Amino acid sequence: MGCFKFFSVYVSFLFLFVAFRVVVSGDRTDDGLITSDRASLLSFMSGVTSDPGNALQSWNSSDLHVCNWTGVACNDARSAVVELDLSGRSLRGTISPALAGLSKLTILDLSNNFFEGCIPAEIGSLVELEQLSLTCNFLEGAIPSELGSLRKLVYFNLGSNKLSGDIPEEIFCNGSSSLEYVDLSNNTLTGEIPLRDECELRALRYLLLWSNVLVGQVPPALANSTRLQWLDLESNMLSGELPSGIVHKMQHLQYLYLSYNDFVSHDGNTNLGPFFSALANSSNLQELELAANKFGGEIPANIGNLPGNLGQIHLAENLIHGSIPPQISNLVNLTLLNLSSNFLNGTIPTELCRTKRLERVYLSNNSLSGEIPSALGDLPHLGLLDLSRNKLSGSIPDSFANLSQLRRLFLYKNQLSGMIPPSLAKCVNLEILDLSHNRLSGTIPDEVAGMRSLKIYLNLSSNYLHGALPLELSKMDMVLAIDLSSNNISGTIQSQLGSCIALEYLNLSGNILEGALPVSIGHLPYLQALDVSSNRLVGAIPKSLQASPTLKQLNFSFNSFSGNVSDDGAFAALTVDSFQGNTGLCGSIKGMRACKKRRHYQLVIVPILLSLVVTPIFCIFGYPLALRSKIRQKLPSFSGGDMVDEEKQEIKEHKYPKISYQQLMEATGGFNPSSLIGSGQFGHVYKGVLQDNTRIAVKVLDSKTAGEISASFKRECQILKRTRHRNLMRIITICSRPDFKALVLPLMSNGSLERHLYPSLKLNQGLDLFQLVGICSDVAEGVAYLHHHSPVRVVHCDLKPSNILLDDDMTALVTDFGIARLVEGGDNGVPPYDSASFSSTDGLLCGSVGYIAPEYGMGKRASTRGDVYSFGVLLLEIVTGVRPTEVLFNECSTLHEWVKSHYPHNLDPIVQQALSRCSSPSMPKYFRKAYCEVIVELIELGLMCTQYSPSTRPSMMDVAHEMSRLKQYLSDPSSQEMEATSSKG
So which residues are the catalytic ones?
798
CA distances from 338 to 154, 272, 317, 364, 727 (A): 36, 16, 9, 9, 38
CA-nearest of 301, 302, 259 to 281 is 302
DSSP 596: P
Q: How far is CA 319 from the centre of its chain?
A: 30
Using only C-alpha atoms, what is the Rg of the chain?
A: 32
Cα separation, 237 vs 209, whole angstroms: 12
Amino acid letter at 43? S
Q: Is the peptide bond prior to 904 cis by the omega test (within 30 degrees of 0)?
A: yes
> How many Å is the maximal CA-CA distance in the chain?
128
The contacts of residue 805 (CB under 8 Å, 6+ apart) are: 729, 748, 750, 751, 752, 753, 812, 813, 815
The beta strands (E) that lie in 576-704 are given as: 584-587, 676-679, 683-689, 695-701
571: phi > 0 → left, psi -120 to 50 → alpha, else beta; which? alpha
Burial of residue 223, with CB atoms counted within 10 A of its CB: 0-12 exposed, 13-18 middle, 19 or more buried: middle
Burial of residue 915, with CB atoms counted within 10 A of its CB: 0-12 exposed, 13-18 middle, 19 or more buried: middle
CA distances from 385 to 336, 382, 832 (A): 10, 7, 18
| Angle between the N-to-C axes of helices 769-788 and 908-918, in degrees from 0 to 180, rounded to the nearest 10 | 100
Cα separation, 841 vs 705, whole angstroms: 12
Cα separation, 364 vs 413, whole angstroms: 10
Amino acid letter at 157? N
Phi, psi of 392 (to 5 degrees): -70, 145
CB 489 within 8 A of CB 535: no
**Count of Cβ atoms closer than 10 Å to residue 466 Cβ:** 15
Amino acid letter at 13? F
Burial of residue 692, with CB atoms counted within 10 A of its CB: 0-12 exposed, 13-18 middle, 19 or more buried: exposed
CB 462 within 8 A of CB 534: no
CA-nearest of 778, 805, 821 to 697 is 805
Tell whether 699 is in a known binding site.
yes
CA-nearest of 820, 856, 701 to 160 is 856
Burial of residue 610, with CB atoms counted within 10 A of its CB: 0-12 exposed, 13-18 middle, 19 or more buried: exposed
CA-nearest of 822, 753, 755 to 786 is 822
185: phi > 0 → left, psi -120 to 50 → alpha, else beta; which? beta
- The secondary structure of 382-399 as a DSSP string is --EEE--SSEEEEPPPGG
Phi, psi of 271 (to 5 degrees): -140, 115
CB 333 within 8 A of CB 307: no
Q: How far is CA 154 from the centre of its chain?
A: 34
Cα separation, 356 vs 498, whole angstroms: 41
The contacts of residue 879 (CB under 8 Å, 6+ apart) are: 899, 910, 914, 935, 938, 939, 942
Residues in the annotated binding site: 699
Residues in the annotated binding site for ATP: 699
